[in-house]
Amino acid sequence: DFPPADSMYHNYAEQNAELQKIAADHPSIARLSNIGTSFQGRNLMLLKISDNVASDESEPEVLFTCQQHAREHLTPEMCLRIANRYTDGYGSDTAITNMVNSREIWIVTSVNPDGSEYDIATGSYRSWRKNRQGPGTDLNRNFGYNWGCCGGSSGSTGSETYRGPSAFSAPETQRVRDFVNSRVVGGVQQIKSHIDWHTYSELILWPYGYTYNNTAPGLDANQERAFRTLGQQMAGTNNYTPQQSSDLYITDGTINDWLWGVHKIWSYTFEMYPRSGGGGFYPPDEVITRETSRNDAAVALFLSYSDCVPRVIGGTC
Ligand code: 0X9
Ligand code: CA
Ligand code: CA
Ligand code: CA
Ligand code: ZN
With a threshold of 0.90, does the pTM exceed it?
Answer: yes
Q: Which of 227, 222, 237 is nearest to 268 (CA)?
A: 227
Residue 296: predicted pLDDT: 99
Tell me the CA–centroid distance for residue 193 and ligand 4, in Å. Answer: 13
Q: What is residue 243's predicted lDDT score, i.e. its pLDDT?
A: 98
Any idea what the Cα angle at residue 296 is, between residues 270 and 177, rounded to 5°? 45
Cis bond upstream, residue 118 (ω within 30): no
Q: Would you state the pLDDT for residue 84?
A: 99
| Full DSSP string of 240-260 | PEEEEGGGT----S-HHHHHH
Distance 22 CA to ligand 2 centre (A): 25
Smallest Cα–Cα separation from 295: which of 69, 74, 91?
A: 74
For residue 103, what pLDDT is reported? 98
Going by DSSP bridges, is the β-strand pair 43-49/61-66 parallel, antiparallel, or unpaired? Answer: unpaired
Which ligand 1 atom sits closest to the C-alpha of 205? 15
The residues placing their C-beta within 5 Å of ligand 5, an ion, are 69, 72, 198
Give the DSSP per-residue string, 10-65: --HHHHHHHHHHHHHH-TTTEEEEEEEE-TTS-EEEEEEE-TTTTS--SS-EEEEE
pLDDT of residue 239: 98
CB of 209 closer than 6 angstroms to any ligand 1 atom: yes
How many other CB atoms sit within 10 Å of the CB of residue 153?
A: 26
Which ligand sits closest to the CA of 185?
Answer: 4
pLDDT per residue of the chain (317 residues) written in tens, 0 to 9: 999 999 999 999 999 999 999 999 999 999 999 999 999 999 999 999 999 999 999 999 999 999 999 999 999 999 999 999 999 999 999 999 999 999 999 999 999 999 999 999 999 999 999 999 999 999 999 999 999 999 999 999 999 999 999 999 999 999 999 999 999 999 999 999 999 999 999 999 999 999 999 999 999 999 999 999 999 999 999 999 999 999 999 999 999 999 999 999 999 999 999 999 999 999 999 999 999 999 999 999 999 999 999 999 999 99
3-state SS assignment for residue 150: coil
What is the per-residue pLDDT for 198?
Answer: 99
Q: Are 249 and 152 in contact (CB under 8 A)?
A: yes
Half-sphere exposure of 98 (CA within 13 A, CB side): 10
Distance 291 CA to ligand 2 centre (A): 14
The answer to whether 209 touches 221, Cβ cutoff 8 Å, is no
Atom in ligand 1 nearest the alpha carbon of residue 129: 9
Using alpha carbons, select from 170, 165, 167 the residue that is nearest to residue 252: 167
**What DSSP letter does each residue of 98-131 carry, written as one string?**
HHHHH-EEEEES-S-HHHHHHHHTTSS-----S-
Per DSSP, 314 falls in state T
CA atoms of 63 and 65, how far apart (whole Å): 7
pLDDT value for 94: 98
Give the pLDDT confidence score for residue 53 in this predicted structure: 98
**Cα-based distances in Å from 80 to 26, 67, 200:** 14, 12, 18
pLDDT at 291: 98
Strand-pairing partners, residue 106, are 48, 63
Q: What is the ipTM of this complex?
A: 0.95
Looking at residue 112, its pLDDT comes to 99
Pocket flag, ligand 1, residue 251 (CB < 6 Å): yes
DSSP codes, 177-229 = HHHHHHTEETTEE-EEEEEEEEESSSEEEES-SS-S-SSBTTB-HHHHHHHHH
